[in-house]
Structure formats: C-alpha cells, structure tokens
Copies of this chain bind each other. A is one copy, B any other.
Amino acid sequence: MAKGEETRKFIIEKAAPIFNTKGIAATSMSDIMEATKLSKGSMYVHFENKEVLACAAVEHNMNMLAERLQKTLSRYKTSKEQLFAYTDFFSDPNHPPVVGGCPLLNFGTEADDTNPVVKEKVNRAIQQSQKLLSGIIEKGISNKEFKADWNAADFATVLFAMLEGGHLMARMSGDNDRMEVIVSNLKKMIEENSV
C-alpha cells in the first residue's frame, strides 16, 4: 500500500512543473509518461483521468509554494521582517519559487472560464494567502510594530495584487525592473505604517 502512494507522489512531483509550465490543456498524458518513464496504463492506476491528475498537480504546486514561503517566513520573527520576507520571496518572477512561475496566476487564468474545480482551488489559495498576510499584520499591530489604524485586510489585498501584477510584467519583459519598483513601493508602504 505504501508503494502505491509512493508512485502516486512520484507522478505528481514530476507532473507538477510540467502542468505549471505548459498549462493543463497543453500538457498531455504522454508528456507525464515521458517525464516519469512510467507506462501509460500505470498513470491510470493512480489517477482516474487527466483531470484528477491535473488537480493533484495544481495542489502540489500550490502546496510547494506555500511550504517554501512558510519556511522562509519562519526565519523571521518581527511582523515587519516577515512582511518584507514575503515580498522578497516573490520578488524575482524570472527565477520563481516553483518551476513555471506563480501557480495561482497560471492555473487561475487558465481555469477561469473553463474549469470550476481548479478555479475554486485557486480562489481558496488566494484567500489563505490573504489570511496569512493579514494575520502577520494584525500580529504586528498587537505588537505595536504597526500603526493601530492600518487596515490589515486591505493591505493584504493590495500587496498580493501588486505582486501578482508585477509577476506578469516581469515574466513578459524578462527583466526585473518593474518588479523592483513594486517591491520598493510595497516596502515603503510597510515602512509608513510601521511605528
């Protein structure tokens, strides 16, 4: 039983970056076959169909991102440091934390009008992101690190949006010029709301 679960994990790990890079529609089961060196039949032992595998890959990408982010954040103690670390974590979209770039952006835009299941997964991940961020801010307010009247939820939204928008700009241009502007603006805002 352990074996099956292991293979399943193995397939997901190999599939995740492919789906995140090429997109769900453009990724074929043969692509995964080739990457895993497994047989076609084997894939269907572990995944009912392509959609199930794609969903698992979407989740894996988001989990990897969250995990790595958490690991990074855990190295900092103050809320301000954590906010800075969060921002820095996403500050180089051409060398992104997970292969293929931000899975929220990638799968979100693809799923948008075509795949409600994936869309909802992305939606929840965004909400979690927001919670994480506003949690940090609120903790900082309690800590007296941040001004008491700072609207945590709103800034979480602004920060997330700016990073995603910057992600797009950076990946399209291939350089980081715009992203640096965004990061420094974000940090200035944080600074302005620091006590």
Chain A contact residues: helix, strand, loop or mixed? helix
A38 located at the interface, meaning its Cβ lies under 8 Å from any Cβ of chain B in the complex: no
Report whether A168 and B105 are in contact in the complex, using a CB–CB cutoff of 8 Å. Answer: yes
Q: CB within 8 Å of B: which of A83-141?
A: 100-101, 104-106, 108-110, 112-114, 119, 122-123, 126-127
A161 located at the interface, meaning its Cβ lies under 8 Å from any Cβ of chain B in the complex: yes
Chain B nearest Cβ from A178, distance in angstroms: 5
Report whether A181 and B169 are in contact in the complex, using a CB–CB cutoff of 8 Å. Answer: no
Report whether B164 and A178 are in contact in the complex, using a CB–CB cutoff of 8 Å. Answer: no
Report whether A158 and B168 are in contact in the complex, using a CB–CB cutoff of 8 Å. Answer: no
Report whether B110 and A23 are in contact in the complex, using a CB–CB cutoff of 8 Å. Answer: yes
Report whether A22 and B171 are in contact in the complex, using a CB–CB cutoff of 8 Å. Answer: no
Residue-wise interface mask of A (142-168) relative to B, using a CB-CB cutoff of 8 A (1 in contact, 0 not): 000000000001100110111111101
Report whether B108 and A168 are in contact in the complex, using a CB–CB cutoff of 8 Å. Answer: yes
Report whether A21 and B165 are in contact in the complex, using a CB–CB cutoff of 8 Å. Answer: no
Report whether A172 and B108 are in contact in the complex, using a CB–CB cutoff of 8 Å. Answer: yes
Chain B nearest Cβ from A142, distance in angstroms: 22
- Set of chain B residues within 8 Å of A104, measured between Cβ atoms: 168
Report whether B108 and A110 are in contact in the complex, using a CB–CB cutoff of 8 Å. Answer: no
